[in-house]
Amino acid sequence: MVADAPEVRSDPERPGLESLLQHPAIWRGRSAAQVDVVSSGHPQLDEALPGGGWPRAGLIEILTEHRGVGELQVLLPALARLTQFSSARWLTWVDPPFEPFAPALAAQGMVLGRVFVARTSEPMWVFEQSLASGACESVLAWVSRLPARDIRRLQLAAEKGRALGVLFRPHSAAKESSSAVLRVVVEPAWDGARVTLLKSRGGRRGSVDLQWNLPSQGCVGPGRSQEGVLKSSPPQRTETRVGSW
């Protein structure tokens, strides 16, 4: 006699395996958990990014050979979108190498009242605290060298605060290990930039060429040589709210 198999009932109070696998912290090789994203503003780049955009929570690294090769233009549409939400939190720039030019940012659609520039002697501490605070949509920082254990801490802080952390690093860091959820290289290209995905949880590797359709004024760059729209030396201030300019 063959006994009937016992009926297995799911407990509505306990999450199933599939729901657990959808947590953004879970990496399933080339099968990505569903993640909350914001469109990059570049359709061809969205096709390559996991989930169709930049992650709303987590640390990403943008690697460049030199500053000012288009790395911020790659990000600007998404950053502007994050400031436009009715419940938008802060967009924080931690000790940027050059002073962001508020009118040009506004021309890109950024809500300046949500932008905050922090000047500090301890940028990585401020970066981590801002990520974990829960008060920021996104936090940007620039650093040359950083131990792998510190990058892991920053990734955890971004997850805790549900913030997009953006770490700008030199191209030489590509050979180092990293806990960031996404790593891309940005290089100058004709009328735009080339974005190469080095590490992408659930996305694909390869390069995407982007073209700019920009007004005559830029947002950031190497200094006054670019039509005077940028300030080459950051002000000696502890903090600045761009929206108050």
Three-state SS at 57: coil
Instruction: Please enumerate in sequence order all residues whose Cβ is within 8 A of that of 182, keeping only pairs 6 or more positions apart, or say none.
Output: 49, 50, 54, 55, 58, 60, 61, 197, 199, 200, 201, 203
Higher pLDDT pick, 171 / 213: 171
Higher pLDDT pick, 7 / 89: 89
Tally of CA atoms within 13 A in the half-sphere of 65 that contains its CB: 8
Question: Model confidence over 38-83: pLDDT tens digits?
Answer: 999 999 999 999 899 999 999 999 999 988 889 999 999 999 999 9
Can you state the angle between helices 148-161 and 123-132, rounded to 10 degrees? 30
Check pLDDT > 70 for residue 94.
Answer: yes
Residue ranges per structural domain of the chain = 40-244
Tokens of 65: 């050979």
- How far, in Å, CA of 141 to CA of 97, rounded? 9
- pTM as predicted: 0.77
Report pLDDT for 175. 86
Q: Are 108 and 217 in contact (CB under 8 A)?
A: no
Question: Model confidence over 164-192: pLDDT tens digits?
Answer: 999 999 999 988 889 999 999 999 988 88
Query: Of the candidates 86, 26, 34, which has an alpha carbon nearest to the alpha carbon of residue 56?
Result: 34
Q: What is the CATH number of domain 40-244?
A: 3.40.50.300
Question: Model confidence over 22-42: pLDDT tens digits?
Answer: 444 444 444 445 679 999 999
Looking at residue 214, the DSSP 8-state letter turns out to be -
Q: What band does 223 get if pLDDT is binned at 50, 70 and 90?
A: very low
- How far, in Å, CA of 119 to CA of 141, rounded? 11
Higher pLDDT pick, 189 / 18: 189
